[in-house]
Amino acid sequence: MKLALTPGQDADISQAEPTLENIDPNAFLADRAYDADRLIDRLTERGMTVVIPPKRNRTTQRETDFALYRERNLIERFFNKLKQFRAIATRYDKLKSTFLAAVQFASIIILLN
């Protein structure tokens, strides 16, 4: 598991490629926000199965394996559990390093339970 913090105004897709640099997963499961041709082409070149539903305004709709897409709920449930920690949900920490340490600590507690 890899965690990265971004400013609130940044789009999530900006961190997709840097996060995947040092790992080699078999599939990439993401929501419609990650539906960009550049990202999909890069992931396909690396031999990954891309499971991203196409945006509704795309002229050519891609096929998506929705049976595999349902596995994304594991990540969504993890973030739901992470937000149950008050210090994470309210972000009282001023420093990025302190907040990241709190997120990592809460993640360890979630994974141990």
Mean of the per-residue pLDDT values for the chain? 87
C-beta of residue 72 within 8 angstroms of C-beta of residue 29: yes
Q: Quick check: 55 and 32 in contact, CB under 8 A?
A: yes
- Distance, in Å, from the CA atom of 83 to the CA atom of 52, rounded to the nearest integer, reads 24
Distance CA 51, CA 19 (A): 17
Long-range (24+ apart) CB contacts under 8 A made by 91-98 are 96/5
* Residues 66-113: tens digit of each pLDDT: 888 888 888 899 999 999 999 888 888 888 889 999 999 999 999 998
CA atoms within 13 A on the CB side of 53: 11
